Structures are given as C-alpha cells and as structure tokens.
C-alpha cells in the first residue's frame, strides 16, 4: 500500500511544482518506511528499484508529459537496470532521488538515478528505457522529446554500458576519497 500512496503523492505534488526540461535533474523526496525494510532492518535492495520507478514518474510528470503520453497511448518500459550500493538506508531516514536523462539514441533513453542522504551518495542506478505505443508500436525518444516541446540541445547519445561504466568509476572514486579521508583522520 505504501507504494501506491507514494505514487499518488508524487502525482499530486508534481502538479504544484514548476515544469522543467526532461534533461534537468529532478529531485524527489522520500522517507524509508517499515514496509521498505528487509529482515536486517534497512531498506531492501528491491525497494530501490521501486523508488526509481517513482522518481522517473515524477520526472515525466514535472516535464509536463504525463497527460500527453496518456493521450497518445504511449508508456515507458524499462529495458535494463543496474545498481551500485554504497550505504544502507535505515528506518524513517529521509533521502532524495536525483533523476536525470543522460542521453538517448534512436531507440532508448539512458537515465541516471542517484540516491542521496544529506548530499551523500547512498546508491547509483542506471536505467535504459524506451517508450511503446498502442499495439506495442515503438515510440522513438525523438517523438517523446517533440511531445515535450524540447528546444534545447540534446545531450550526446550515451549507451547504457558507457553510463554504467561512468557510474562505476564515480562509485570507485567516492570509495577512494572516503578511504583517503579515513587514513588522514
């Protein structure tokens, strides 16, 4: 039930937030609830992916695309996901999810999603998604961007593997900086 409540709140509050380009980062606030926990007492790994779904819904709504997609019968489908965990999220902790399209090609969009707790990176996710229309028709990212009235320069196409590698390198850098800080202390 918490998942439906989260989604309903995101859809409700997105109406009162300013519209933004799909290429601008979208920050969505969350809290870890007891139903998000595994038997070890922290947010279960599978819940991160569910929260990522909610973050992408917020991004779509705040880009003004939700109604337009429904009108056309278009819907997003996740093709591939990857996740790297750095820290645990504990009961009742607040966190933010930063969602951003990092690029697209003729078929897919690549989206980076970063879990933040007080500006600390907790987890990094990379998603490759596409849109489908009625009867399973493939909808190109360019068609979706035209629907969003995007006039700005589009980020260069980034493959899922490239974005995943960049996220992995960033994750390793964070670990090395933290280790250097601990040694210096």
Per residue, the 3-state secondary structure of 8-51, as one string, reads HHHHHHHCCCCCCCCCCCEEEEEECCHHHECCCCCECHHHHHHH
pLDDT at position 157, please? 61
The more confidently predicted of residues 103 and 55 is 55
Residue 89: exposure state from Cβ atoms within 10 A (0-12, 13-18, ≥19): buried
pLDDT at position 185, please? 56
**pLDDT confidence bin for 132, thresholds 50/70/90:** very high
pLDDT at position 183, please? 60
- Going from N- to C-terminal start, the domains of the chain cover 2-184
Fold of 2-184: Thiol Ester Dehydrase; Chain A (3.10.129)
How much is the pTM?
Answer: 0.84
Does the structure show a pLDDT above 60 at 31?
yes
What is the pLDDT averaged over residues 8-13? 86
> What are the C-alpha distances in Å from 94 to residues 15, 43, 88, 146, 171?
22, 12, 12, 35, 21
Contact indicator for 82, 110 with CB cutoff of 8 Å: no
Does the structure show a pLDDT above 70 at 21?
yes
């Amino acid at each position: 039930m918490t998942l439906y409540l989260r989604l309903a709140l995101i859809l409700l509050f997105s109406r009162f937030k300013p519209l933004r380009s799909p290429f601008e980062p979208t920050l969505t606030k969350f809290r870890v609830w007891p139903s998000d926990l595994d038997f070890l007492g922290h947010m279960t790994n599978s819940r991160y992916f569910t929260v990522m779904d909610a973050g992408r819904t917020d991004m779509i709504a705040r880009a003004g695309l939700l109604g337009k997609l429904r009108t056309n019968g278009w819907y997003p489908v996740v093709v591939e996901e990857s996740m790297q965990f750095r820290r645990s999220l504990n009961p009742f902790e607040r966190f933010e999810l930063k969602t951003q399209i990092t690029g697209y090609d003729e078929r897919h969009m690549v989206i980076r999603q970063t879990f933040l707790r007080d500006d600390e990176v907790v987890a990094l996710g990379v998603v490759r998604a596409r849109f489908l229309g009625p009867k399973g028709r493939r909808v190109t990212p360019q068609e979706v961007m035209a629907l969003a009235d995007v006039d700005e320069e589009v980020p260069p196409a980034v493959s899922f593997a490239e974005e995943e590698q960049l996220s992995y390198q960033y994750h390793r850098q964070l670990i090395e900086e933290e280790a250097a800080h601990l040694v210096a202390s």
